[in-house]
Amino acid sequence: MPGPVVTSRQDSILLIMIDNPPVNALSREVLAGLDAAMQEAAGSEEIAAAVIFGAGSTFVAGADVRAFPPIARGERPMIDFNATMNRVENLGKPVVAALHGTVLGGGLELAMACHYRIAAPGTTLGQPEVKLGLIPGAGGTQRLPRLAGAGRALEMIALGETIGEREALELGLIDAVASGGLVEEAVEFARRAEKPRRTRDHDAKLVDPEQAESIAALDRDTVAKKFKWQVAPLAALDAVLAACRLPFEEGLATEARLFEECLRGPQAAALIHSFFAERAVTKVAGLKRETAAREIERAAIIGGGTMGRGIACAFLAAGIPVTLYDAEQAAREAAARSIRETLDGLISKGRIKPGSHGTLSIVETMEEAAAGASLAVEAVFEDAAIKRSVFQALDAVTPADCLLASNTSTLDIDELAAATRRPERVVGLHFFSPAHIMRLLEVVRGRETSPETLATALALAKRLRKTAVVSGNRYGFIGNRMFMPYREQAVEIATEGASPALVDQALTNWGMAMGPLAVGDLSGLDVFRLMRREAIRLGFHYEAETFEDILCEQGRTGQKAGAGWYLYDAKRKALPDADLQREIREYAAGRGIPQRVWSCREIRQRTLFALINEGARLLEEGVAERASDLDVVYICGYGFPAWRGGPMHTADVVGLPVILDVLTRLYDEQGPFWRPSELLSECARTGRRIASWTR
């Protein structure tokens, strides 16, 4: 069986094909194959030049990331990418890279080690290693500035930006854009090439160190905003600056040192964990690869509120026609305006092309919405009785093969399915607000949800450019089930002496996108009160009354009311409320709640350990297939910092014995809310990583 690199001859041109599906990643075997090909080219007088190209739909989309986690733990030596790049660059005969598809990371580094580059239309080029907590480690930080200029290289490497073939041509990163057959034109290019042209010898586009530092200073501000607290983007800036200050070989040594520091750091380990976790969620237990998914040709959206509008925009942006119905005329009119404004905004920002979105129809009856729909999504108020009545109505008016989906965030999908004559066609599609932007889609599998329905939901998520995570049908599913104890602890801490601002800052300064109390104000404190009461009814150990009940009774339900844990101005900017702190103290005094001084570390322990413990309980109950699924849910839907790897990865970083000790102490002091998960306890005793747990 041939290896991942196959050579052949076309007269005096050596054709070198990389065939390492699915994305032709640079693995040890590929590098060995390229080394052998360079030896073949160097050892034959009959070979005048070489062309390197990728089989399938892409050139090389990067290095084989599977090699990185073991390296980060020091279990095996670093792959020597530079040795191969240098062999390519130092071959005494012209080497042409024929580029198509995605030329990313190590793929672009290989292309730049070649002497010439020709790209097919539609090619994407970039160095996105910072998204894995790394910098280019095979000469990218030294070669890209020499070809594209230091300024653009800083942006591409430190921000992970990609460019198309036209910009690459303008920058000088490539030499030509193919107009016909890519490999054929690359071969002709190679025949005409007179001699090798090494990238390392191109210093014309480099700027002097002082000018480079001035450019980098501007980029540091951008990096600080886009990649707050992250190490790799700043290391990337330093590596590119080295290209402007040092000879090529010394610049390579600087790059290697910075790459190694990033690779062995916790952020790279977390981001690589996240990378693999997102790919693992596509593997769904009990769903065969050959299960056919139905095409969603038209979607009916029931409910014209915030979620209904956002879901409609998500479908429309994907080119799916939508009919939207709301019982209130004012809501229908507001939805029409809002959706059109959102679509116009997406077009102006270049996120969708003019005329590419689906058609929107606002209708006055549910029957009109249902006509011809292959999927109906209810997005009405989070009330079981209301949602059941909507499902009954949809069951009566939609085509028999139409799938019925609920956007519920907590309610029982089986109970909703029981209101229909087609429970096998019912599924939960829990979108996150704003639905047209947030990446996460929780797909909730009911007891009778058919494989075809599940496959269709997952295919739809891909079409909508969502990351789908399949959840079992338990209260709160994955995301909200874990979020509730995390947030309940934030509320308790705020009534035990910590200011709301301190509670939120303890988490946002750690990397969370929003603090838990601010999230409550955004979603609505009345919504969380309903969720807590339902959870208590189902046997969860939450306080029957909290200070949020007082806020709700006062009408302070959050941003929509202008006040909650914070006051809000006309632009919904949060402002501190001095009177609120006084009310909290009075509430605590009336109920004998002791006050104390809280450190940020203590706040994080109480909230995050509650989150982690509930995640472990979900795994015990079979709600999720893998612990890493929980990490994906929190990174994609709840603002958990990807560079911390998600809550379950964080648990392993903190140390399960440490977490177990804290949970056990709180359980002894405060009761059943803190009962340690059996799975977490077992992993702590055996030394097993909980983030790698799978059913």
pLDDT value at position 591? 94
The answer to whether the CB of 106 falls within 8 A of the CB of 63 is yes
- Beta bridge pairs of residue 470: 443
Report the C-alpha gap between 173 and 267 in whole angstroms.
Answer: 30
Q: Is 496 a catalytic residue?
A: no
Q: What mean pLDDT comes out for the span 299-306?
A: 94
Per-residue tokens: 186? 């690359």
pLDDT value at position 62? 92
Per-residue tokens: 462? 């891909």
Q: At residue 638, does pLDDT exceed 70?
A: yes
Domains along the chain with CATH numbers: 5-264 (3.90.226.10), 299-473 (3.40.50.720), 480-523+530-541+583-692 (1.10.1040.50)
Among the listed residues 75, 89, 129, 194, the single catalytic one is 129
**pLDDT tens per residue, range 515-531:** 999 999 998 999 899 99
pLDDT value at position 69? 55
Res. 452 pLDDT band, cuts 50 70 90: very high
pTM of the model: 0.93
**pLDDT tens per residue, range 394-419:** 999 999 999 999 999 999 999 999 99
pLDDT > 90 fraction of the chain, expressed in percent and rounded: 87
* Alpha-carbon dihedral 329, 335, 338, 344, rounded to 10 degrees: -120
Res. 78 pLDDT band, cuts 50 70 90: low
Q: What mean pLDDT comes out for the span 236-246?
A: 93
Q: At residue 145, does pLDDT exceed 80?
A: yes
Q: At residue 390, does pLDDT exceed 90?
A: yes
Among the listed residues 29, 40, 45, 109, the single catalytic one is 109
Rounded to 10 deg, the angle between the 627-637 and 600-621 helix axes is: 130
Report the C-alpha gap between 74 and 90 in whole angstroms.
Answer: 31
pLDDT value at position 202? 84
Q: What mean pLDDT comes out for the span 280-309?
A: 92
Report the C-alpha gap between 152 and 131 in whole angstroms.
Answer: 18
Q: Is 109 a catalytic residue?
A: yes
pLDDT value at position 449? 97
pLDDT value at position 205? 83
Q: What mean pLDDT comes out for the span 437-442?
A: 95
Q: For all residues of the chain together, what is the average pLDDT?
A: 94
Q: What mean pLDDT comes out for the span 78-103?
A: 93
Write phi, then psi, for 16 (nearest 5 degrees): -120, 110
Res. 355 pLDDT band, cuts 50 70 90: confident
Report the C-alpha gap between 437 and 542 in whole angstroms.
Answer: 32
Q: What mean pLDDT comes out for the span 77-91?
A: 87
Residue 291, CB-side half-sphere exposure with 13 Å CA sphere? 17
DSSP 320: -
Q: At residue 73, does pLDDT exceed 60?
A: no
Task: List the single range of 199-208, 402-411, 469-478 with lowest mean pLDDT.
Answer: 199-208
Q: What mean pLDDT comes out for the span 539-553?
A: 94
pLDDT value at position 383? 87
Instruction: Give the torsion sign (CA, 85, 23, 42, 47).
Output: negative
Cα 347 from chain centroid? 22
Nearest to 409 by CA among 477, 350, 347, 487: 477
The answer to whether the CB of 571 falls within 8 A of the CB of 578 is no
Q: What mean pLDDT comes out for the span 355-384?
A: 93
The answer to whether the CB of 160 falls within 8 A of the CB of 105 is no
Q: What mean pLDDT comes out for the span 621-633?
A: 96
Report the C-alpha gap between 26 and 35 in whole angstroms.
Answer: 12
Q: What mean pLDDT comes out for the span 499-516?
A: 96
pLDDT > 70 fraction of the chain, expressed in percent and rounded: 98
pLDDT value at position 135? 96
Res. 72 pLDDT band, cuts 50 70 90: very low
